[in-house]
Amino acid sequence: MAIEVRIPTILRTYTDGQKAVSGDGASLSALIDDLEASHPGLKDRLIDNGDLRRFVNVYINDEDVRFIGGLEAELTDGDQVVVLPAVAGG
Amino acid sequence: MLTIEQATYDAIVAHARRDHPVEACGIVAGPEGSDRPERHVEMVNAAGSPTFYEFDSTDLLGLYRDLDDRDEEPVVIYHSHTATEAYPSRTDIGLAQEPNAHYVLVSTREHGNNDGPVEFRSYRIVDGEVTEEEVAVVPQLSTD
């Protein structure tokens, strides 16, 4: 099983500069744990106190995961995950 | 230093004036690694607020897909302040997540929706550190 995960510029320090990495998991949460094993430090940039960080957007097949279960969103082989930092400020 | 075309500068200022008192936001895209702000893209401020801006999450994905297809990156990320100076707020600094971008701030506090000079300033924001830079407005970006 392989899921392609697109990594934004600011997080590529955790992926040796790679724009995309692949991982496994039946849910977003499991996928992030799997990514953490090969790219230590990544998880902390995505999750805070057990929840997805407010200003990090994650999409599964173009759907914002906030609308499809958040960290519990289901994944299947071939899904595409995109991580994008929010563009926001005050 | 940020070098930007007069037409792009004017378009950003016009956007900020039009949306006042809500914060306006958008980007200027350019070829990856070129540092050339060539293509102005206005974004919707999903927060619709005079004190906060955020690109809508669906629009954000569409924007980055489009940039990817064109081998572009956001060279400039801009937004307006409508009641305060054109300097990054603490929130702006905390949320800046594009280390390669020029963060442009426009302030419409003086003249709001009307004509008149606006503050237009540019910064690098990396790891919470703000560095202001010079803005050079040119008739056209050089072609070499």
- Please name the amino acid found at residue B110: E
Nearest by CB to residue B54, choosing from A8, A62, A88, is A88
Q: Do A86 and B61 touch (CB under 8 A)?
A: no
Q: For the segment B61-90, what is each residue's pLDDT rounded down to a tens digit?
A: 999 999 999 999 999 999 999 999 999 999
The B residues from 43 to 82 touching A (CB cutoff 8 Å) are 43, 47, 51-55, 57-58, 60-61, 64, 73-74, 77, 79
Q: Is the dihedral of CA A19, A42, A10, B106 positive or negative?
A: positive
CATH no. for residue A17? 3.10.20.30
Q: What is the pLDDT of residue B144?
A: 65
Q: Which of B11, B5, B10, B37 is nearest to B137 (CA)?
A: B5
Residue ranges per domain, chain B? 2-138
Q: Is residue A90 in a domain? A: no
Domain that holds residue A28: 3-85
Across the strands, what pairs with A59?
Answer: A64, A82
Count of structural domains within chain A: 1
A interface mutation test: which of B52, B57, B106 has the most A CBs within 10 A? B57
Domain membership flag for residue A20: yes
Interface contact B92, partner A, CB < 8 A: yes
What pLDDT sits at residue A1?
60
Tens digit of each residue's pLDDT (9 = 90 or more) over A9-60: 999 999 999 999 999 999 999 999 999 999 999 999 999 999 999 999 999 9
Distance from CA of A74 to the nearest CA of B (A): 19
Q: pLDDT-derived band of residue A80, with 50, 70 and 90 as boundaries?
A: very high
- Judge whether A43 lies within some domain: yes
- The CATH class of the B2-138 domain is alpha beta
- pLDDT average, residue stretch B109-127: 94
Q: Per the structure block, which two tokens stand in for A28? A: 């977003």
The H or E element spanning position A4 is strand A3-6
Task: Give the CA radius of gyration of chain A.
Answer: 12
Phi, psi angle pair for B13, to nearest 5°: -65, -40
Mean pLDDT within B90-109: 96
pLDDT in tens, B22-44: 999 999 999 999 999 999 999 99
Look at residue B143 in the predicted model and tell me its pLDDT: 81
